[in-house]
């Protein structure tokens, strides 16, 4: 059901001026809520202004149409991914090959070199097990019928190579290294793929709720391709109309969490089936805060979502 929301004529010029000055939509929503505006209304107004600006359409003047039912629109802030065509880390320069604003997706070149890709696969191979996901109702790890792969997790900084890659990923993703979950490796044989899913944690079971309470929500993902896939294996984003082909050392990066506790449903993604050969990926998830595992021998990295 749609609802027409009216607002003061002075609000529009303030929003435009604030956005031009570089304030994020999250900051504007917070300011509006501080003035006692309903959070859903504030998000909807800011979303409408941002959508009109990006599309080159006339800006709203004194009203917008808001969907009365359903969650508040996602207020996308300024991307965490650094601007420009290159990201300089402590030990290399990563190239930004392509970007999309909504959802925030980027293709990155040269995140790992060929030797690092080979080393990661060599270290991971003897530790691979059938991939599991967390059942959204029970919170228990189960083998996923829709994900035909084998996987394993590295502990954060468990050896010099992984420590170096942890630091590099944190610099690329522009968040502290301690916010990162342990790297996950997935290996897909011919015919293997993954159904459409989100990487953020669904608070539908106690383990996920406890994980979010400890470390905050997942906010971004970096999927690094480790080998050359002869055919298939693309990472597809249906909402953006994108499909990223796996190229060794390259990566796909996407953001889906903001400072308001919202998640971006448009980051739905899937792994296309491997038509020939096999596919290896290395995935890093970032949290809102320092990542705190569930226990000394358990990792929250096993919870929800998977690299593709």
| Tens of pLDDT, residues 215-261 | 999 999 999 999 999 999 999 998 888 999 999 999 999 999 987 88
Phi/psi at 127 (5° precision): -105, 5
Domain membership of residue 308 (yes or no) is no
Chain CA centroid to CA 116, Å: 23
- Return the pLDDT at 298: 43
Chain CA centroid to CA 288, Å: 12
Q: What is the DSSP string of 277-303?
A: S-EEEEEEEEESS----SBTTB-GGGS
Domain count, the chain: 2
Residues 184 and 134 in one domain: yes
Residues 102 and 246 in one domain: yes
Residues 90 and 6 in one domain: no
Residue 174 is encoded by which pair of tokens? Answer: 């522009």
Owning domain of residue 115 = 86-302
DSSP state, residue 200: S
Domain membership of residue 75 (yes or no) is no
- Return the pLDDT at 146: 45
Phi/psi at 73 (5° precision): -60, 145
DSSP state, residue 59: P
Which of 17, 33, 67 delimits the end of a domain? 67
Residues 238 and 93 in one domain: yes
Residues 136 and 31 in one domain: no
Domain membership of residue 123 (yes or no) is yes
Distance CA 146, CA 127 (A): 21
Residues 158 and 203 in one domain: yes
Buried b (16+ CB within 10 A) or exposed e, 167-176: bbbbbbbebe
Residues 98 and 20 in one domain: no
Residue 180 is encoded by which pair of tokens? Answer: 């990162």
pTM score of the predicted model:
0.76
Domain membership of residue 81 (yes or no) is no
């Amino acid at each position: 059901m749609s609802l027409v929301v009216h607002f003061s004529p002075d609000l529009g010029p303030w929003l435009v001026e604030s956005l031009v000055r570089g304030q994020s939509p999250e900051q504007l929503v917070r300011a509006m809520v501080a003035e006692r505006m309903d959070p859903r209304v504030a998000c909807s107004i800011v979303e409408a202004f941002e959508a009109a600006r990006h599309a080159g359409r006339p800006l709203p003047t004194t009203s917008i149409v808001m969907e009365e039912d359903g969650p508040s629109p996602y207020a996308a802030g300024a991307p965490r991914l650094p601007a420009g065509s290159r990201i300089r880390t402590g030990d290399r320069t990563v190239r930004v090959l392509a970007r999309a604003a909504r959802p925030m997706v980027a293709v990155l070149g040269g995140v790992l070199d060929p030797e690092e890709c080979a080393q990661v696969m060599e270290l991971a191979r003897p530790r691979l097990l059938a991939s599991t996901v967390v059942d959204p109702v029970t919170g228990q790890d189960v083998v996923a019928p829709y994900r035909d792969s084998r996987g394993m997790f590295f502990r954060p900084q468990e050896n010099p190579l992984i420590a170096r890659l942890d630091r590099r990923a944190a610099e690329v993703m522009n968040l502290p290294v301690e916010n990162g979950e342990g790297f996950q490796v997935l290996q897909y044989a011919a015919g293997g793929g993954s159904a459409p899913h989100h990487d953020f944690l669904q608070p539908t079971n106690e383990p996920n709720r406890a994980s979010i309470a400890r470390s905050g929500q997942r906010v971004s993902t970096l999927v690094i391709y480790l080998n050359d896939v002869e055919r298939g294996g693309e990472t597809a984003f249906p909402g953006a109309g994108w499909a990223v082909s796996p190229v060794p050392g390259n990566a796909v990066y996407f953001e889906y969490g903001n400072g308001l506790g919202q998640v971006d449903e448009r980051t739905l993604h899937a792994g296309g089936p491997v038509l020939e050969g096999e596919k290896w990926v290395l995935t890093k998830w970032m949290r809102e805060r320092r990542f705190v595992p569930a226990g000394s021998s358990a990792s929250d990295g096993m919870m929800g979502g998977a690299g593709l």
